[in-house]
Structure 1
Amino acid sequence: MTLRGTSDPMGTPSSAPLFVQRSGTGPSVVLVHGGLPPNITWSSQQELETRWTLIVPSRRGYPPSPPASLQDFLADADDLVELIAQEPGGVHLVGFSYGGLGACIAAERMPERVRSLTLIEVPLWVAAEDDEVVMELAGLADRFAASADDAQAESEFFALAGVDRDMLAGEDDGVRHAMGLWRELRSPREAQPRFEVITEAGTPTLVFSGDHNPALERLCDALAARLDAQRACLPGAGHAVQHAPGFNAMLETFLTTAERSRGEARSD
């Protein structure tokens, strides 16, 4: 299933236009995908378009957006800032996995334009840099990215991400292309968002996890604490929490409450 709707190019300060898919009606929600293409990442969110305007960029390097030599959360943040600036009234920002790194940085760059922030198992290692269990997981991600010859790291990383090589063998060229970018990326260890800017702005924030890995649970707990965020744990879909039963209902409740709070703030 793919997101229906019109598409439009969105210019960025640094290079060619980014491809953005739009559908639905209502307040704007930007959905930022992780390592897999957006049509796979957000396939379960199609139903939200009856009440929300879904804005789904293809991150740089993911067709039909311009090519890139690596995944780069700083480039993602630049693209998202440009996109958010063009949306009247701002947006709700939802980031999954690696895509959440750029989303978090964009939120702290433009807190006045972000109505709410939702982060789904985002590898913001800095939030728990003193936790040995979390740092072991960060080390696994580093080993996977460093070498395609480390079979053990690949096996453990794919298990963490819920990836089955046999399953992916039959997927389309978009998935195979995406897999080629999994080892070409700016390390999440370099991500240093200013959490205090988001909290001081009073941005409603929600952190999701999937209850499939203890280290990720600890990371998400730490991230929620740093952001003074609501915390949700939804098992059933592993790392791809957005496909878990009940995700859309929980997200909509959060978004609706954030919308109501924004309206009350304007009336004060």
Structure 2
Amino acid sequence: MSALAAERWGDAGPRVVLVHGSLNSAAAAFSEQKVLGDRYQLIAPYRRGYRPSPPTDRVDPDRDAADIVELLGSGAHLVGTSMGGVVAMRAAALAPEKVWSLTVIEPPAMPNGAGRPAADRLITAMREHWEQADPNDLESFAAGFLQVLNVSMKLSSPLSDPLAEAIRNLTTERPWLTGVPAEKLTATDFPKLVVSGGGTPGFEDVADALAEQLSAKRVLFDGSPHAVQRIGEPFNNELLAHLASAGEPTP
């Protein structure tokens, strides 16, 4: 049995595991996908360090990936947003036989985009932010991080407990080091989709690189937020078509 708490929407159809990113939660990240519970069994776990799942001293994408593999059961579609995309790809590499399709949304797999100008600039900016920012000043750390990404997000002040917890987790991440094993994923035959919203040039470079490395379908919803899935129906329609392209899996 998985150690993670999870939101569960829908009780019939193929399983879809949805992995949230940083500064987020399962319920908030995938609120626009709940409507898909009429045809899929959606499981959106809270990663370690995000209540009500167990606490953690630091974010470990490999440990998170192992947690996600447990939720795949005998097989599932896998969707990950932001750092959840990195976790999803590492999980897919761990247990490719359990993955029916893979969708990632602006994953910070920065090493995979290294050598591309905007990705290299973002890698440098991230590293410098972590070196210079005070990890104990959570509001300033998060604000600086969002500025680096060119992401507009209003933080509550004072911080809510869940947001403070999420920022504390973020301070332990090292996104410029969170590459994914593209060669292992390329060797798999399940369909892959890479989605972005156009707001962070470095993430666009990474998404382009991943699409090439994984022979994945590449979709840009230009003008969308970093968490592209929050645009709702346009993303959901693309996701549904992608899930259907995997054929009819046998659980």
Match of 2:178 in 1: 191
| Selected match of 1:203 from 190, 214, 232 | 190
Q: Is the 8 A contact 1:236 1:244 kept in 2?
A: no
Note the residue ranges of structure 2 that are not aligned, 5 or more in a row. none
Match of 1:164 in 2: 153
How many aligned residue pairs are there?
A: 243
Counterpart Cα distance in 2 of 1:176 and 1:234:
30
Structure 1 segments of 4+ aligned residues over 4 angstroms from their partners? 149-156
Match of 2:203 in 1: 216
Counterpart Cα distance in 2 of 1:32 and 1:128:
21
CA deviations on 1:121-179 (whole Å, 9 max, x unpaired) are 001112221123211102222233334349998655314263434x4227642122212
Q: 1:153 to 1:134 in 2, by over 3 A?
A: farther
CA deviations on 1:5-56 (whole Å, 9 max, x unpaired) are xxxxx43xxxxx2212222021110000001111111111111111111011
| Selected match of 1:241 from 220, 228, 244 | 228
Match of 1:3 in 2: none
Q: Is the 8 A contact 1:207 1:220 kept in 2?
A: yes
RMSD: 2.3
3-state DSSP of counterpart to 2:226: coil
Counterpart Cα distance in 1 of 2:64 and 2:82:
13
Match of 1:14 in 2: none
**Cα offset, 1:201, TM superposition:** 1.8
Q: TM-score, normalised by structure 1?
A: 0.82
Q: Larger relative CO (CA 8 A, sep 6+): 1 or 2?
A: 2
Counterpart Cα distance in 2 of 1:154 and 1:231:
29
Q: 1:155 to 1:63 in 2, by over 3 A?
A: closer
Q: Is the 8 A contact 1:28 1:53 kept in 2?
A: yes
| Selected match of 1:95 from 80, 87, 90 | 80
Counterpart Cα distance in 1 of 2:170 and 2:48:
13
Q: Is the 8 A contact 1:205 1:229 kept in 2?
A: yes
3-state DSSP of counterpart to 2:8: strand
Q: Is the 8 A contact 2:65 2:87 kept in 1?
A: yes
1:141 corresponds to 2:130:
no
